[in-house]
């Protein structure tokens, strides 16, 4: 084997978008491959987990892990990579905060199984079969990973060194992160490898914002014809820019879609949804009790909008049942 640093890229509960984002760095990936030895990348290369198991502890220089943890298999892989790696990078919104699948923390494991194996209109399951973690037949035992009661972000399962949020992370930040590791120019452990400002700070529409925003009604993006250059909040459309970290290159804003918060909370903030509630309350321009109730009751699914990517790492984390 060469003396090049070893890098593993792995998905847990991810959609594959983050792996695709790695490929999206285009020809720069050739330089990366020249500089490192890829030892695991289930989406793209045919290495097996037992190859990783055979390695010595700390032999892998960097593990880039995307996706959340919701079953025992994902937890096992996460722990294996932690043991074999010097550095672990939580890659993408799911690994950093639980991501969109984290919204499943608002329903129970039983609700999910009932829907998938009984109630969904396309299901035909007359015997009411449900997947079991263990099944014996002819003296042989088959196993399936255990499905957990809730979604976990990576840091709730293993020790994470660095974070790179986004759904998916943009190519320039991926290259910066990989270069920083290769050159050994890393910030303190636990840092997020993005700018530390709020998205509003870097948003091109910021200059159209009046000194004080006042909205009388909250609308959804499909209900209006959004002005392409005006701040969404001024137009009465919820945009999570004030409470979300910048670094995404304003990808959504540039195609006239408000920010949904995939970069998660700003430095030092635990719960971006709660912070957005404060920001939103400040710009709702009504005084009477009825008007306040009318405007706020008009918001469809506030928790789904405010915690779309961050539910498992929010202060309350999960629905109480």
Could you list the residues that contact other proteins (CB under 8 A)? 72, 75-76, 79-80, 83, 106, 146, 148-150, 157, 270-271, 273-275, 277-278, 280-282, 284, 286-287, 289, 292-293, 296-297, 299, 301-304, 306, 314-321
Q: How far is the CB of 298 from other proteins (least distance, A)?
A: 11
Q: d(Cα 89, Cα 73) in Å, to the nearest integer?
A: 19
Q: How far is the CB of 228 from other proteins (least distance, A)?
A: 29
Peptide bond just before 116 cis, omega within 30 deg? no
DSSP string of 48-79?
Answer: -HHHHHTSPTT-EEEEEEESBEEEHHHHHHHH
Edge-first strand listing for the sheet containing 60-66 = 37-40, 6-11, 60-66, 85-91, 162-164
Each as own residue / partner, the long-range contacts of residues 47-51 (CB below 8 Å, 24 or more positions apart, any chain) are: 49/77, 49/80
Q: How far is the CB of 285 from other proteins (least distance, A)?
A: 10
Q: How far is the CB of 131 from other proteins (least distance, A)?
A: 16
Question: Residues of 42-51 as b/e, b for ≥16 C-beta within 10 angstroms?
Answer: beeeeeeeee
Q: Which is nearer to other proteins, 42 or 302 (CB)?
A: 302
Q: Which is nearer to other proteins, 122 or 211 (CB)?
A: 211
Q: Which is nearer to other proteins, 53 or 227 (CB)?
A: 53
Question: Residues of 214-232 as b/e, b for ≥16 C-beta within 10 angstroms?
Answer: ebeebbeeeeeebeeeebb
Q: How far is the CB of 45 from other proteins (least distance, A)?
A: 22
Residue partners of 201: CB distance under 8 A and separation at least 6: 246
Q: How far is the CB of 284 from other proteins (least distance, A)?
A: 5
Q: Which is nearer to other proteins, 25 or 213 (CB)?
A: 213
Q: Which is nearer to other proteins, 75 or 161 (CB)?
A: 75
Q: Which is nearer to other proteins, 254 or 292 (CB)?
A: 292
């Amino acid at each position: 084997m060469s003396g090049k640093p070893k890098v593993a890229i792995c998905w847990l509960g991810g959609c594959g978008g983050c792996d695709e984002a790695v490929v999206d760095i285009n020809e720069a990936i050739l330089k990366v491959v020249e500089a490192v030895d890829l030892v695991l990348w289930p989406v793209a290369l045919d290495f097996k987990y037992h190859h990783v198991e055979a390695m010595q502890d700390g032999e892998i220089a960097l593990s880039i892990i995307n996706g959340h943890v919701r079953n025992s298999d994902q937890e096992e892989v996460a722990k294996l990579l932690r043991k074999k790696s010097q550095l672990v990078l939580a890659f993408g919104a799911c690994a950093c905060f639980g991501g969109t699948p984290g919204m499943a923390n608002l329903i129970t494991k039983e609700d999910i199984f009932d829907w998938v194996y009984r109630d969904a209109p396309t299901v035909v399951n007359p015997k009411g079969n449900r997947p079991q973690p263990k099944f014996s037949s002819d003296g042989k035992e088959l196993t399936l990973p255990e499905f957990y009661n809730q979604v976990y972000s990576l840091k709730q399962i293993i020790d994470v060194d660095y974070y790179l949020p986004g759904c998916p992370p943009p190519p320039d930040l991926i290259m910066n992160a990989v270069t920083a590791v290769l050159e050994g120019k890393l910030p303190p452990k636990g840092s997020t490898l993005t700018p530390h400002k709020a998205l509003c700070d870097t948003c091109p529409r910021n200059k159209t914002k009046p000194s004080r925003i006042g909205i009388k009604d909250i609308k959804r993006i499909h209900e209006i014809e959004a002005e392409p250059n005006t701040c969404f909040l001024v137009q009465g459309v919820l945009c999570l820019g004030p409470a979300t970290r910048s670094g995404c290159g304003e990808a959504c804003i540039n195609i006239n879609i408000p920010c949904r918060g995939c970069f998660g909370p700003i430095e030092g903030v635990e719960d971006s949804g709660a912070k957005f509630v404060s920001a939103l309350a400040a710009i709702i321009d009504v005084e009477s009790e009825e008007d306040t109730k009318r405007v706020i009751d008009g918001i469809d699914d506030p928790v789904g909008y405010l915690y779309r990517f961050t539910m498992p790492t929010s202060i309350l984390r999960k629905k109480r049942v």
